[in-house]
Amino acid sequence: MLSKGPGFVPQPPEPKGNPQTTDPQLTTQAPSKTPPITPPLSPVTLDFPSGNDEPPLPHFGRYELLEKLGGGGMGLVFRAVDTQLHRQVALKTIREGVFADGQEIGRFLNEAHAIAKLHHPNIISIYDIGKEQGHHFFTMQLASGGTLSQHLDDFAHSEPKRAVALMEKIARAVQCAHERQILHRDLKPANILLDENGEPLVSDFGLVKFLDQDQELTRAGKAMGTRPYMSPEQLTGLKENMSPASDIWSLGVILYELLTERRPFVSPSDEELSNLIKSADPPSPRQHRRQLDRDLETIVFKCLRKNPAQRYATAQQLADDLKCWLEQRPIHARPLSWPERFGRRLLATSCFSNSLKPTSGFAIFPSSSKRARQ
């Protein structure tokens, strides 16, 4: 038991067991007149009680934690200082700490490996990865502008060009990930960070899927993602249905929300929300913001088509159409004709019962508005 002398530092409660057992590598030599003491607020105190919004501020290896920035179902993110390079970083660690199981650790490491593969000005950068006293962690670029979800009101009340310019950059970042066979699977405003200049940074690859790998660290048949931003095929939970088109759907939802400050599908019930996403037509963004240009509405609707094959083939094509709109050039997307809209509804009510395999009845409808007019 340490005496409460001048060198006393408050310590977290000792774990049950032999209080005299100490790892010599974890002790810090104090002056000769004082016995050795453990470093103040050891990293093991990261497992702070649930509901406590003020985390402890320990030294986590060479990183000094300053404050908690946020957290999700799996991870916690802190603002930290790299005491060797003298810069601030974002440090992410597993919420369960030393009690994380193999699947949680695997998903955490997958996220770090995915970010490390991606080099794009609008994707968060990773700096370091390691393990400290049983806690896995990695450090990333610190984005001081907060999340896009904190600025939705600003974009909805600004000129549409501002939202479109931002989405063009995000779409090109997503294309970078797709070209490296990486699906994000959880694109949403809360996972888009803004730097000090307002530039977007795609982050949080915790549900990442590598298209060139068979390994899947999520439970088979379980839908993974954030429901309001999930595509109809993503809601099935079948990994064979997942493709870049699912991320493009999520980009469409984000664009819709930036323009209107509303999501296209809303319901207090998860089951009803899933049914709306699978079968209902999204309301026109012009219902919420009448001055929106029809071409911009067409771009949004192309992202939100129920049939993945009818969406933009790539995020690059979406970005190019957004650029065309910004430069007041003709866009490539075209509105659905009435036979195609009817066919889409038929697809929504029939194909999901057959794992999204197109029915023969859908083939009778023309695939372009020109053929429909003929």
Give the DSSP letter of residue 101.
Answer: -
Alpha-carbon radius of gyration of the chain: 25
- d(CA 287, CA 130) in angstroms, rounded, equals 50
Strand boundaries in the chain, DSSP class E: 59-60, 63-71, 75-82, 87-94, 126-132, 135-140, 182-183, 192-194, 200-202, 209-210
pLDDT at 212: 84
**Distance from CA of residue 11 to its chain's centroid?**
36
Average pLDDT over residues 318-347: 82
Q: What's the mean per-residue pLDDT of the chain?
A: 80
Reported as a pLDDT band with limits 50, 70 and 90, residue 215 is low
DSSP string, 140-193: E---TT-BGGGGHHHHHTS-HHHHHHHHHHHHHHHHHHHHTTEE----SGGGEE
Average pLDDT over residues 146-170: 96
Average pLDDT over residues 339-362: 50
Reported as a pLDDT band with limits 50, 70 and 90, residue 302 is very high
248 against 34, higher pLDDT: 248
pLDDT at 96: 80
pLDDT at 220: 53
pLDDT greater than 50 at residue 192: yes
Name the 3-class secondary structure at 343: helix
- d(CA 73, CA 94) in angstroms, rounded, equals 9
Average pLDDT over residues 156-163: 94
Query: Which of these is catalytic: 101, 186, 247, 320?
Result: 186
pLDDT at 19: 42
- With pLDDT > 90 as the criterion, what percentage of the chain qualifies? 59
pLDDT greater than 80 at residue 325: yes
- With pLDDT > 70 as the criterion, what percentage of the chain qualifies? 72
Name the token pair of 213: 């790998």
Reported as a pLDDT band with limits 50, 70 and 90, residue 237 is confident
- d(CA 59, CA 82) in angstroms, rounded, equals 10
pLDDT at 228: 97
pLDDT digits (tens, 9 = 90+) for 8-59: 444 445 444 444 444 444 344 444 444 443 333 333 344 443 444 444 347 7
Which range has the worst mean pLDDT, 35-44, 140-149, 215-224, 271-280? 35-44
Reported as a pLDDT band with limits 50, 70 and 90, residue 319 is very high
pLDDT greater than 90 at residue 268: yes
pLDDT at 213: 81
pLDDT greater than 80 at residue 279: yes
pLDDT greater than 70 at residue 348: no
153 is catalytic: no
pLDDT greater than 70 at residue 251: yes
pLDDT at 277: 97
Helix (H) or strand (E) holding 130: strand 126-132
pLDDT at 344: 54
Q: What distances in angstroms separate CA 28 from CA 34, 158, 202, one per listed residue?
A: 11, 55, 40
Which range has the worst mean pLDDT, 22-26, 287-291, 313-317? 22-26
254 against 219, higher pLDDT: 254
Helix (H) or strand (E) holding 115: helix 102-117
In the chain, what are the domains? 41-140 (3.30.200.20), 148-335 (1.10.510.10)
pLDDT digits (tens, 9 = 90+) for 79-135: 999 999 999 999 999 988 777 888 889 999 999 999 999 999 999 999 999 988 888
